[in-house]
A and B are shown apart, each in its own frame.
Chain A
Amino acid sequence: MIDGTCVASLEEAGFSHDGGAHFVFRHVSLTLARGEFVAVLGPSGVGKSTLLRVLMGLVRPTEGQVGGSACAVGAVGSQGAGRRSRAMVFQDARLLPWRSVLRNVEFGLEGLGLNSAERATRAREALRLVGLEQEAGRWPRRLSGGQRQRVGVARALTVDPDLLLMDEPFGALDAITRTGLQDELRRIWRQTGKTVIFVTHDIEEALRLATRIIVLAGGPPAHIVGEIAPTDAQRNPETQDFAQCAARLRALIAH
């Protein structure tokens, strides 16, 4: 599933809100290969979400490059033909309250040259993938927190992105809903083969989901203090390997 093709990369990237006086993170280099599920793990406020926004292109890095020599910008996953190269799932779902669930999912498809029937078909497919096809006509305010997040995932998946960026999407949910959605996300990832980068401060969540965990900590400025590619045994919460791996990640975060 992971084929080594570069989907996105950062090269010596740094970000500062004040033009370079104080950096949130610095010297961050990473490459995302097609089909990977990468978790960016780190304490709250360390700059994980900002890192994601830099990768998404919502903010420019103060230094370094997005793309970089190993993964030329635009070379992989260029937009067009009814798709977008990147799509994001936000922590707060961020659904538009004046649009029905279906129209929220269609949001990303608008402006891609699809007619309304094509958009609706694509959006319904995405809703089916997250198990919410029956809720297509409802208003977002009628949905539970977990359902809202699943709509956010459907909205991102429907544009058929090369890279799915997820910013602590399950952070505000209760433990049972969160575990259910983690399993669902893992299933969707296997089914679609999408490259995912997932930001979290939850070690267990990172271990359960990711094929590779990058730890962003230290500072400020924060930097990558280590990374782990968990084995299947390390991903199983009932094993000793899981506990040992979690302890190692905890130590890295405390770096």
Chain B
Amino acid sequence: MKGRLSKRLHVGLGIFGLAVFFGSWQAAVSLGWLPGNMVPAPLDLGPAWLAEVRGGFWQQAIQDSLGHYSLGLLIGSTLGTAVGLLCGMSRILDSLLEGVIRLLRPVPGLAWVPFAILWFGLSTAGATFVIAISVFWINFYAAYGAVRGVDPELFELAAAFGHGGFMARLFKVVLPASMPGILAGLRTGLGQGWMSVVAAELFGVPGIGARMMQASSLLATDVVVVYMLTMAFLYAITDFLFGFIRGHLLKWQP
């Protein structure tokens, strides 16, 4: 069983773990255990990052990717949550869409790339589409499961106090009761969205993924790693901010 650590010790250990990771990595490259032309040394990443910043590539790539990410996340999460909520609440809609969902669900987001190119071309819309599809299903199942898990006795309570109508049940019972599950789906989608950004941009839409592809074709592995770490950093920020929002919305939970 895990004991509780003080917050300071927890953070300290995390920083120490990162230092050991980067230190070992640097040592492995410096000592020749890893080939420098295949794996860049951590100390090479700073200059590579500075060169990208000075050329304006880094800022532009982030701006482009954030645009795809935000829009794709917004569309996919909103639609996924809405359809999940409605299917969870309506047996008729659930039955109606069951076959369609079973047909489409196993298709991975990346499989839609050819259609994205065909329908939208090498454009922001194409990348947004792929990201939206990949987060749609996460949010759909999170919301659907959360609604199905709502205590049926709460619906009786709502009916007893005059809130038996569809909209009253939705806003007074279903949404707040499902909020922990919906937010868990949104959080998973935040991570999945960044993964999809790379996939969506690999086929040429400008952004972090496209820049990584260009760098890898020139064997500039240090630049590739710079963008990998950039993405990890951006994910950490979005997850951190989301944690604040989640904490505020679920302050009633223990």
Contact = CB atoms under 8 A, between A and B. Distances in A.
Interface stretch (A107-115, A168-176, A209-217, A220-228): A107-115
B98 interface: no
Chain B interface category by residue count: 10 to 19
Chain A interface category by residue count: 20 to 34
B161 interface: yes
B153 A94 contact: yes
A185 interface: no
Nearest to B158: A107
B-side interface mostly: helix
A84 B158 CA distance: 13
Nearest to B250: A98
A107 B163 CA distance: 9
B246 interface: no
Contact of B172 (A87, A88, A110, A155): A110
B107 interface: no
A-side interface mostly: loop
Interface string B122-156: 00000000000000000000000000000001101
A159 B162 CA distance: 11
Contacts of B159: 58
Nearest to B176: A98
A96 B162 contact: no
A141 B179 CA distance: 17
Interface in A76-124: 79, 84, 87-88, 90, 92, 94, 96-99, 107-108, 110-112
B161 A94 contact: no
A159 B93 CA distance: 35
B168 interface: yes
Contact of B160 (A79, A88, A96, A99): A88
A58 B156 contact: yes
Contacts of B154: 94, 96
Contacts of A159: 161
B177 interface: yes
A222 B113 CA distance: 65
A50 to B, nearest CB: 12
Contacts of A96: 154, 157, 173, 176-177
A139 B252 contact: yes
B254 interface: yes
A68 B20 CA distance: 80
A79 B156 CA distance: 19
Nearest to A165: B160
Given A90-B157, A92-B153, A98 B252 contact: yes
Interface in B149-200: 153-154, 156-157, 159-163, 168, 172-173, 176-177, 179
A84 B252 contact: no
A56 interface: yes
B254 A84 contact: no
A99 B162 CA distance: 17
Contact of A108 (B153, B162, B173, B254): B162
A141 B161 contact: no
A239 to B, nearest CB: 37
Interface string A39-66: 0000000000000000010100000000
Contacts of B168: 111
B160 A58 contact: yes
Q: Which of A58, A98, A107, A155 has the most CB of B within 10 A?
A: A98
A238 to B, nearest CB: 37
Contacts of B162: 79, 84, 108, 111-112
A134 B127 CA distance: 54
Contacts of B161: 84, 87, 107-108, 155, 159
Contacts of A107: 161, 163, 172
A75 B161 CA distance: 20
B210 to A, nearest CB: 43
A96 B151 CA distance: 11
B160 A110 contact: no
6 contacts: A96-B176, A98-B176, A98-B252, A107-B172, A110-B172, A111-B168
Q: Name the 7 nearest CB pairs between A and B, nearest first.
A: A108-B161, A98-B176, A98-B252, A88-B160, A94-B157, A139-B252, A111-B162
Given A84-B162, A90-B157, A98-B252, 13 more contacts: A58-B159, A92-B153, A96-B154, A96-B157, A97-B252, A97-B253, A98-B177, A98-B179, A99-B252, A110-B163, A111-B162, A139-B252, A159-B161
